[in-house]
Amino acid sequence: MDLHVHSTCSSDGGSSIMDYALQARRAGLTAIGFCEHADFDPRDQGYGYLDMVRYDQELHSAREHVPEVLLLQAIEITYQAGLEGQIRDWLSGHAWDYVLASVHLVDYEDGWALVSEPGTANAYYGTHTCRQAYLAYFEELLRAARSGLADVLGHLDLVKRYGTAHYGPFEPRTFSAEIRSVLRAAVEAGMGLEINTSGLRQAPGEPYPALEVLRWYLELGGQIVTIGSDAHRVQDLGASTPEALDLVRAAGFRAVAYYQDRQVRWVDL
Ligand SMILES: [Zn+2]
Ligand SMILES: [Zn+2]
């Protein structure tokens, strides 16, 4: 299964929900989780794009045409501490299979950056030391984990996507205290941790997060791990799932998880 996919219901998605469903059937996937973007800040490129009526309709139609594949309706919120009340209210207006919380946007002294977009990200990294840039991201991520808004924490160390070009390969041990705090908060909140394989297709050449951080999550009592490609087009559906499963096994987990109606479900390895 692939639990992190963006269709054309997201501003940056290139394939329709139906195309993903048909591709999943061809490829023998049992489930897809659509994690369309919900962005709450007018500075965000995806702000105001999501149309829930369309999302519901397209999903309904794909479920009818491709009943063999479990099509989960999820949402990827761009978490921002200052907008928590607004995000909570919005989420309560719809039934989700699961909610993924991601940090994409970091506010800093005299600006802001989308850490997932080269334009603003490069300006951010260019004016901060590695420690400053990464800490601001992990601090916001800690607030996301503590918020209780979501079921799963998305792409834990996405900050390395463009950070790698400025500071070299990401070394989790440099931020071990901060990352462990995030993981501990996630465990306390009963949140799952996503292994996002898109990092294997991008500059870091490893998933978000990689093996060491997965081991820390397990050590701290974390059990819920989900796997997603963050595909924005059908060509990437299910990308690197076998590698992610190897990583989950290597870290010592015995099962992977998915969610339906916000209830965690398990697939034994
Ligand atoms: Zn994301
Ligand atoms: Zn995503």
pLDDT, tens digit, for every residue of 167-182?
999 999 999 999 999 9
Distance 150 CA to ligand 2 centre (A): 14
Residues 191-219 have pLDDT tens digits of: 999 999 999 999 999 999 999 999 999 99
With cut-offs at 50, 70 and 90, classify the pLDDT of residue 126.
very high
Distance 143 CA to ligand 2 centre (A): 19
Residues 152-162 have pLDDT tens digits of: 999 999 999 99
Distance 155 CA to ligand 1 centre (A): 7
Sheet holding 70-78, edge to edge: 2-5, 31-38, 70-78, 98-102, 152-153, 192-196, 225-228
Element (H, E) at 185: helix 176-188
262, 96 Cβ separation under 8 angstroms: yes
Q: Which domains, and CATH codes, for the chain? A: 2-268 (3.20.20.140)
Q: What does the mean pLDDT of the chain come to?
A: 97
Distance 67 CA to ligand 2 centre (A): 24
pLDDT confidence of residue 109? 85
Distance 90 CA to ligand 2 centre (A): 19
Scored b (16 or more CB within 10 A) or e, 181-212 reads bbbbbbbebebbbbbbbbbbebebebbbbbbe
Distance 226 CA to ligand 2 centre (A): 13
In the chain, pLDDT over 70 holds for what percent of residues?
A: 100
Residue 241 has pLDDT above 90, yes or no: yes
**Ligand located closest to 3 CA:** 2
CA distances from 43 to 13, 39, 126, 243 (A): 19, 9, 20, 35
* Residue among 56, 69, 62 at smallest CA distance from 95: 56
Distance 155 CA to ligand 2 centre (A): 8
**Ligand located closest to 35 CA:** 2
Residue 110 has pLDDT above 90, yes or no: no
In the DSSP assignment, the letter for residue 155 is: -
